Amino acid sequence: MSGRAALSGLSIAVALAAAWAGHELPVYPSFYPHEIEIRTLAPQQAAAALRQARVHAYLGTGLGFAGAPPEPIRAVESLGALVVVRVNRESPLGRDEGSVCAAVEQVMRALTEPEGDFVFHPYPVTPFDGDYLYHLDLAEAAKARVAAGASDRLPTGGELRVKASRDFVRRHPAWSAERADWDVEIREVNAAGLVAESAHALNGLIAPPWLRTGWFRAERLLSEAVRDPAQQQRADTDFSGLTSGGYDGLTERINLERDLVAALTNGCSAAIAGYTVKRQYFNDDYSAGIENVDSDAIEGLQSPTFIRTVKLKDFPWNGWLALATDAAPDAAWNPIAGMTDPFGRLMWDAMGDPAVLPSPREAGWMLNRISDVQRNQGAGP
């Protein structure tokens, strides 16, 4: 009797589903939270752990290989850091706008050749950004302007004192990673970290909605360096229009985005020299590895898309997924006061159930559920 009742109930459920085509169909992650192990590993330990499948994917940074990674390790690429060149206004070169522009131009021209993970791209919206096609012509024009720069010399003469990260110092021995009396600094700003710092979650939604756009990142990076009052007013007006919806249609919105970036890049106090490519690694072995690996253009494997798509090759639904990061937890583990460090964000990606998720290769968002299906009005009640 109980079996017949269960069968009868199933028939009713199927009938209802057929009658109401708009009924929500949930899309669940590939793994449940208790089946995901997250550990902390230093980069020098991660390579061996990946090869031996003790870790299926390494979501940290700092792991690299000379040439292609060995079998069965594969890499995914995403946007690493934006490389910002800025002038020290306290240095003698910082007092004159001509000297400021000449100093930035000299450093930018020294960076035009690709160097390791660095890609020369003197425009804040990158090919990894979903809104890049709206800025493609401006990005190409910026490259041409730097290549055609008229001056290799500073008007004041003398050696330019450059402070840079150790990766750039290795290729430019005259630069320094430690000096305090610098004229120009080359600074790397983590793109995923900038997104995380600017985000806030409320009632299952992640805000602001323009969080993942290249123009918003440009505003975060360059707005404080704009010195010309007219350009600052122009940038403020454009930013206000974009964030308040003060535009009429897609064309006007795109024009506002382009105009905002043009205002932010008009001066010389700070400029974008390019970006670095982040590579993260996973084990592709059969049958100890993982498959169906998706990643995010900005966050790489540190994204809810990865958690919701990846599967074990050996035990697709019943095994344990072993992940590792390079940073130990250092934030509060709750969705109100914390989950802001890489470890906490990864844990929340596995445990949380937001209404929308970042679209992996676009500037927008996608629903976390297949829903909002419109019923055919002519098909009955």
| pLDDT 10s digits, 174-199 | 899 888 889 999 999 999 888 888 88
Whether residue 259 has pLDDT greater than 90: yes
Q: Are strands 36-40 and 321-325 parallel, antiparallel or unpaired?
A: parallel
Q: Which residue has the higher pLDDT, 314 or 203?
A: 314
Query: What pLDDT does residue 127 have?
Result: 97
- Counting Cβ atoms within 10 Å, is residue 172 exposed (0-12), middle (13-18) or buried (19+)? middle
Q: What is the mean pLDDT of residues 351-371?
A: 79
- Tell me the per-residue pLDDT of 275-289, one tens digit each, with 9 for 90 and over: 999 999 999 999 899
Report the distance separating Cα 144 and Cα 266, nearest Å: 15
Q: Which residue has the higher pLDDT, 240 or 342?
A: 240
Query: What pLDDT does residue 56 have?
Result: 96
Rounded to the nearest 10 degrees, how much is the dihedral formed by the CA atoms of 333, 336, 338, 343?
Answer: 60
Q: Where are the alpha helices (DSSP H) in the chain?
A: 2-19, 43-51, 97-110, 136-147, 166-171, 191-198, 214-222, 229-244, 249-264, 304-309, 342-351
Q: What is the mean pLDDT of residues 23-50?
A: 75
Six-digit token pair at 196?
């995380």
Please answer whether residues 186 and 193 qualify as being in contact, where contact means their C-beta atoms are separated by less than 8 angstroms: no
Q: Are strands 205-207 and 73-87 parallel, antiparallel or unpaired?
A: unpaired
- Tell me the per-residue pLDDT of 204-252, one tens digit each, with 9 for 90 and over: 667 788 999 999 999 999 999 998 999 999 999 999 999 999 899 999 9
- Tell me the per-residue pLDDT of 46-79, one tens digit each, with 9 for 90 and over: 999 999 999 999 998 889 888 889 999 999 999 9
Q: Which residue has the higher pLDDT, 381 or 298?
A: 298
Task: Report the alpha-carbon angle 103-106-107, nearest 5.
Answer: 90
Among 281, 321, 263, 381, smallest CA distance to 29 is for 321
Residue 291: Cβ within 10 Å count:
14
Query: What pLDDT does residue 65 have?
Result: 87
Report the distance separating Cα 240 and Cα 253, nearest Å: 12
Query: What pLDDT does residue 380 have?
Result: 44
Q: Which residue has the higher pLDDT, 117 or 368?
A: 117
Residue 165: Cβ within 10 Å count:
17
Phi, psi of 331 (to 5 degrees): -130, 165
- The model's confidence at residue 203, banded by pLDDT at 50, 70 and 90, is low
Query: What pLDDT does residue 33 have?
Result: 56
Query: What pLDDT does residue 301 have?
Result: 94
Report the distance separating Cα 320 and Cα 283, nearest Å: 14
Please answer whether residues 369 and 307 qualify as being in contact, where contact means their C-beta atoms are separated by less than 8 angstroms: no
| In the chain, % of residues over pLDDT 70 | 82
- Tell me the per-residue pLDDT of 88-101, one tens digit each, with 9 for 90 and over: 988 888 878 888 99
**Mean per-residue pLDDT of the chain:** 83
